[in-house]
Amino acid sequence: MTICAGSIEDIVMKVQHAFDEYPAERSNRIFLTLQACMREVLKQLGGNRYKVPHMRKAALEMLDALPAALECAATVARDAIEFLPDA
């Protein structure tokens, strides 16, 4: 399906409609994946050579055990910060 917008107002209206229709639960899954990927990037001290971690989000959601946010070990964050060049 192709959606053509004739003006900025059309684009804004279509984006707002898509946002309103998108289920919040699916947004949570997206952000959990983003957090999991960021954790992997921190573990590697940068870069993108990692496998996207799978958390069984659908199964956790059915058990009402899907977290709102993921934790990152303090050592992982500290190592990543220490790896940054001095500004």
Q: Is residue 2 situated within a structural domain?
A: no
Q: What is the pLDDT along the chain (87 residues), one digit of tens a residue?
A: 555 667 999 999 999 999 999 998 889 999 999 999 999 999 999 989 999 999 999 999 999 999 999 999 999 999 999 999 985
Q: Is residue 1 situated within a structural domain?
A: no
User: What is 18-83 written as a DSSP string?
Assistant: HHHHS-HHHHHHHHHHHHHHHHHHHHTTS-S-SPPP---HHHHHHTT---SS----HHHHHHHHHH
Distance CA(29)–CA(33), nearest Å, equals 6
Q: Is residue 33 situated within a structural domain?
A: yes
Q: Which range of residues forms the domain containing residue 63? A: 12-83
pTM here is 0.74
Q: Is residue 76 situated within a structural domain?
A: yes
73: its two tokens = 């070990």
As for how many domains the chain has, the answer is 1
Closest CA to 57 of 48, 67, 45, 72: 67
